[in-house]
Amino acid sequence: MHDPAIEALVEALKSDDPGTREMATQELWRRWFTQKGAYGFTLLQRSQDLIDQGDVGQAEAVLTELVDHQPDFAEAWNRRAVLYYTLGDYGRALADCDRVVALVPYHFGALHGMGLCHMALGHYHEAIAAFRRASAVQPHALANQRLILECTAQL
């Protein structure tokens, strides 16, 4: 992550000021979604439109084609992970989250998603580790802290 602008945004996620954190969060999501320009963004939107219309199979096909042709497009992997998670396919969701984090180690959405998948599988130690990694990036995200407590209670 040798981009000073990205480093500043990731650091801003730790700010005590909620407005600064929100701005950094939104800007990171914007950058992730637009990493591949209009082409990639349009296909991400298309996949979401298909999901909204109930055509999950076609949405998966769009996302799979996108990751096949743009394997460094982290948000395409992340969107497919979200799709797999919603379908209860936690193993495939985790595999896609792993790809996202390999590409963008500070991707708090994928880190959180990894925790959710592990939690759904009853892998509470792994879930706690993932939520802690997400919390290291976004220390003020209360959802991760709450989920760490929920997983700890299951041990």
Instruction: Concatenate the DSSP letters of all residues of 14-54 into one string.
Output: T-S-HHHHHHHHHHHHHHHHTTTHHHHHHHHHHHHHHHHTT
Average pLDDT over residues 66-94: 97
Average pLDDT over residues 25-29: 97
The dihedral sign for the CA sequence 126, 132, 135, 136: negative
- Per the CB < 8 A criterion, the answer to whether 128 and 148 are in contact is yes
* pLDDT, position 137: 97
Please tell me the distance from the alpha carbon of residue 41 to that of residue 130, in angstroms, as a whole number: 27
Average pLDDT over residues 20-49: 96
Average pLDDT over residues 63-84: 97
- Domain layout of the chain by residue ranges: 4-154
Average pLDDT over residues 95-111: 97
* Residue that wins the pLDDT comparison between 49 and 3: 49
What percentage of the chain reaches a pLDDT higher than 70?
99
Lowest mean pLDDT among 1-5, 83-87, 131-135, 151-155: 1-5
Q: How much is the pTM?
A: 0.94
Domain 4-154 has CATH 1.25.40.10: yes
**Which amino acid makes up residue 95?**
A
Q: Is the pLDDT of residue 2 over 80?
A: no
Average pLDDT over residues 28-39: 95
Residue 64 to residues 39, 46, 57, 122: CA-CA distances in angstroms?
Answer: 15, 13, 10, 27
pLDDT band at 80 (very low <50, low <70, confident <90, very high): very high
- Per the CB < 8 A criterion, the answer to whether 1 and 103 are in contact is no
Quick one: 108 exposed, middle or buried, by C-beta within 10 A (0-12, 13-18, 19+)? Answer: buried
